[in-house]
Structure 1
Amino acid sequence: MSELKQQITTEMKAAMRAKDKERLSTIRMMLAELKRIEIDERIELDDTRVLTVLDKMSKQRRDSISQFEEAARMDLADAERRELEVIKTFLPQPLTEEEVAAIVKKAAEESGAQSMQDMGKVMGLIKPQVQGRADMGIISKLVKSELSS
């Protein structure tokens, strides 16, 4: 079992003991998604893949929050925020803007990218370094501005 998945399971047990229903519910939802992927693909998830799944779940929460706020449903937006906070506890420390900019610049130089056609190469180098630590939408914008200059 991946180390991160083991940590999530341990936290689930702690939430059960603490009778923290909200946290327990979110952790169970996370584990259910991981288990679904393992069963569907007949694989054992490693830490990298677990991070990818958690990153996707956090992105879904952020999207839902903005949609609920636009619809003036603050009760639902708050519920999504609470879930997002629990998911974030299992993600690595987010990168600062300076760190992200440095990674983008270095990847552009290493790949020898000259134009927008090379964006895939650059993104391929960046993604493993920032998975779960930065928003890929922001990374994409930075890569585009780096390649267009």
Structure 2
Amino acid sequence: MRLFGSTIERDSEQIERIRRRLDEDREKSKRQAYRVTTPHLAVLVSGRDRQRLYPLRDLSVCGLAFYHQENHFETDEPVALTIRRGDTTLVDNIKGTIVRIDETTCGCRFDNPSLDEDCRLSAIVLIEQKKELDARRKQRIMEQAL
């Protein structure tokens, strides 16, 4: 019985070391997911008694960045994010946190998106990634034709 208990303790210690190492690697990694540029999408940002639509700069399944002209945000501020294409809502009311602010852009991290939100974000990113690849392919073909 004691042998079994010590094995469990060793296993749990090893699992904890692996978790710490993964967390450290995640901290070191600047990007956690593939980002796509999204000039035709917008994000409705709701927070602290205000709501405003901003043009989206880029999007990933982990977060997004949007353009702003005046800084009304603070780092670590919780916000609700709705991603839109024209009048169509693609993903509604995702909880997020402002993680980066500079002169023209603001970066947000999604906070524990639901499975449905995650699937919708993945689909948007995949569609945009395909569009980017098609555009690059067409550009290469045009350059080779010249």
TM-score, with normalisation over the residues of structure 1? Answer: 0.25
* Structure showing the higher strand proportion among its residues: 2
* Structure showing the higher helix proportion among its residues: 1
> Which is bigger in relative contact order (C-alpha 8 A, separation at least 6)?
1
TM-score, with normalisation over the residues of structure 2? Answer: 0.26
* Structure of larger gyration radius: 2
